[in-house]
Amino acid sequence: MIKKVIISGGGTGGHIYPAIAIANALKAIDPTIQILFVGALGKMEMEKVPKAGYEIIGLPIAGIKRELSVDNLSFPLKLTRSLLKARSIIKSFKPDVAIGVGGFASGPLLMVASLLGIPTLIQEQNSYAGITNKMLAKRAKAICVAYPNMDSFFPKNKLKMTGNPVRSDILEVTHKRTQAYAHFGLQPNHKTLLVIGGSLGAKTINESIEAGLKLLINSGYQILWQTGKPYAEKAANAINSLKTPYAKSFDFIYEMDLAYALADVVVSRAGALSVSELCLVAKPAILVPFPYASEDHQTKNAMSLVEQNAALLIKDKDAPEELVQTALRLLQDVEKQQTLSQNIKKLGKPNAAKEIAETVLGLI
């Protein structure tokens, strides 16, 4: 009998790429398995998931804005419509198991699936669980987590410590360095600072890098800079004004394996996926947590590394003054780079996707 799995969630790359990694791991174990994604209409999963070769259906769900907003008035209607559509999708597809990876769509889909008696699995990526996953956990059969002490949020008997699943192409990047320099048009005789603000960009990081761009270049370093769409034009203009071959900017980098391959130091937000990838590629990192993430979970993610002397942390409010200077000091300090690299590598979980896939199949 052909097995069927629904994977729900998205909103950011931090939810989408782990979901695709789980799907790929399931296919690697059982090529006949049928997988359907359920996302939120208008969110980036509706573009990224089909690019990865999977079908996706969108729900009309949206989040509640934390500030007072007229948009919140439509939330009950959107939630009701999403629950009804989720029920229709489940009745039609008839999944054997439903997986939630976080993001707007996972709430309605997993709630309906559990009410219909379908086994559900939650993949919690962060060190601090969100309210939706805490609610869904009561009915979930298994909860895969990436950080210790998650029994403060979830029933201990349901927990499985797997780590976060990541794209398989980043599991081995050391031999791709020469290819990476050619791909991005950068110079192999210059140390490289990789700047990534997440799939949607990071305003404070971008502004700090732009302000210090000339200093970084004049200090003998080169920059590979993922800006996000909102800052792409500004970053390109800043680089063009310097007329330098030692800086390249992109609104989004699909070839992250190559980006990590040539990076000597990485500046990044501290989303769960970014942290997990940095652990696996073992790169010295400066983390600038997004301060408005729910329950400030990015700071908690970053601190889990800082406490192991596995990364540096700069608060978002301090980045304009400190980020570039800290990057320069780390680029110059080979011994510190080696220490951070060795310590962060110990925290990597390279088999996360496979372990989660095996847990999923175990529920069927």
Q: What is the pLDDT of residue 82?
A: 87
Confirm or deny that 12 is annotated as ligand binding.
yes
pTM over 0.85: no
Mean pLDDT of 345-354: 93
Q: Which fold has domain 169-345?
A: Rossmann fold (3.40.50)
Lowest average pLDDT, out of 232-241, 275-284, 286-295, goes to 286-295
pLDDT at residue 292 is higher than 90: no
Confirm or deny that 276 is annotated as ligand binding.
yes
Stretch (H or E) spanning 198: none
Confirm or deny that 164 is annotated as ligand binding.
no
Looking at the chain, the number of H-run helices and the number of E-run strands are 14, 13
Are the folds of 4-164+350-363 and 169-345 the same? Answer: yes
- Other C-beta atoms closer than 10 Å to the C-beta of 47 total 11
Confirm or deny that 125 is annotated as ligand binding.
no
Structure tokens at 219: 């200090």
Residue 244's pLDDT band, with cuts at 50, 70 and 90, is very high
Residue 271: DSSP 8-state:
-
Q: What is the pLDDT of residue 60?
A: 86
Confirm or deny that 130 is annotated as ligand binding.
no
Stretch (H or E) spanning 13: helix 13-29
Query: Is 2 within 8 Å of 34 (Cβ atoms)?
Result: yes
Query: Is 4 within 8 Å of 26 (Cβ atoms)?
Result: no
Confirm or deny that 275 is annotated as ligand binding.
yes
| Local structure of 226: helix, strand or coil | strand
Mean pLDDT of 93-116: 94
Q: What is the pLDDT of residue 223?
A: 98
Confirm or deny that 274 is annotated as ligand binding.
yes
Mean pLDDT of 271-288: 94
Measure the CA–CA gap between 347 and 308, rounded to whole angstroms.
9
Q: What is the pLDDT of residue 231?
A: 92
Confirm or deny that 308 is annotated as ligand binding.
no
Structural domain boundaries in the chain: 4-164+350-363, 169-345
Q: Which fold has domain 4-164+350-363?
A: Rossmann fold (3.40.50)
Confirm or deny that 273 is annotated as ligand binding.
yes
Angle subtended at Cα 44 by Cα 225 and Cα 226, rounded to the nearest 5 degrees: 0
Q: What is the pLDDT of residue 38?
A: 95
Query: Is 220 within 8 Å of 264 (Cβ atoms)?
Result: no
